[in-house]
Structure 1
């Protein structure tokens, strides 16, 4: 099926589009990086946060296992084009990265802890990708909605850099817009547990996170 991922397809994409993997250097991209963040108001007691960290199938599964998170949606963010798709983002030319929208109850879990989940569920030093997924569309980005969130992100990033004695790859972007991905990407890990990519990449990444943060897991975790 055309939407199935594999290590081989990731390598092919990397080879085909490596020249475009610095999309964040595009002048149009700079206007996104330098923009004022768009605030997303709390609705019905729920807040939203946005993260990019490799394949959104993996990131969605991680955040869905966390207490206080009501829903996670896969999509695209961080780029300079409108209406990105899976195909267009994979070219590395749109500036967008695969991202997730995390809808959470701030009375149960706060933004700071969600950032801890972010760094604790990835290889924080891998540039332009996570695991076998490489390219600017898989790069790590944390989006902030206001100055307070930006300070939280920058502080945690700096502390992690000192702890690891390494450069942390995650970019820090002002949130602008989240584009919802195609329907077949939503809840992919749950709906396709036998998919080879899910078996070999998504589930191991999820299980690694679970072992590190047992106190943050829902009782009905999958």
Structure 2
């Protein structure tokens, strides 16, 4: 009997500790970040027939190069999105305390490439199960996020994420955020892979990632990217 009483006390203590841990975790969620997640999406209007889409998938040097190889993409711009601070810098973002992730703004012709295809490109160009990073780049500033601007885009993202989870029988790491604002990164980050082909990171991480994507989806590539 004493043994049973002792065991019950131990179990009660463990349950209380677990509940405290869960409550403590819930209480430490940054309310500023939660406000970003809960906000209504901002829809960016077409400009000269071109649309914009926003993705975070690890280092923006890699992601920028991936999307610029896709037909219908006019430009890919590196920057920061998903956070709660104004005018984020590379140094501030790398602390993980701005809420932002390295992201890209994709300027594209919706008559040539659809938003749905851009989401396919997103998943084909990454390890979709890696949390808070891609490859050697780890931290909340490298977390994967797909940004939606309206309910239609949100549905496309959710359906593709669910389908991929079933296909891989695994949890997909990408978060789904309402788009709020994109902050353009410092000038030296733009077209970084093109301008720094001999950089060690570019040679060993970025270019191999680009090549893996191109092998998966050759049908979406621009002619110059096929060679």
Distance 2:136 2:63 in 1: 14
Match of 2:38 among 34, 39, 44: 34
Distance 1:210 1:171 in 2: 24
Q: Does 1:151 align with 2:161?
A: no
Q: Deviations over 1:153-202 (max 9, x none)?
A: 00000010011010000000000000000000000000000000000000
Q: Does 1:61 align with 2:65?
A: yes
Question: Could you tell me which residue of structure 1 aligns to residue 146 of structure 2?
Answer: 142
Distance 1:198 1:106 in 2: 30
Per the TM alignment, residue 26 of structure 1 is displaced from its structure 2 partner at its CA by 1.3
Q: Does 1:97 align with 2:101?
A: yes
Q: Does 1:196 align with 2:200?
A: yes
Moved over 2 A (4+): none
SS at structure 2 position matched to 1:82:
coil
Distance 1:156 1:84 in 2: 30
Per the TM alignment, residue 25 of structure 1 is displaced from its structure 2 partner at its CA by 3.5
Q: Deviations over 1:82-113 (max 9, x none)?
A: 00010000000111000000000000000000
Q: Deviations over 1:67-89 (max 9, x none)?
A: 00000000000001000010000
Structure 2: gaps of 5 or more residues: 1-27
Alignment of 1:1-222 (within 5 A): 25-221=29-225
TM-score by structure 2 length? Answer: 0.87
Distance 2:224 2:207 in 1: 16
SS at structure 2 position matched to 1:202:
helix
Higher RCO (CA 8 Å, separation ≥ 6 residues): 1
Q: Max radius of gyration: which structure?
A: 2
Distance 1:176 1:25 in 2: 20
Distance 1:214 1:87 in 2: 36
TM-score by structure 1 length? Answer: 0.88
Distance 1:198 1:29 in 2: 31
SS at structure 2 position matched to 1:161:
helix
Distance 2:192 2:54 in 1: 18
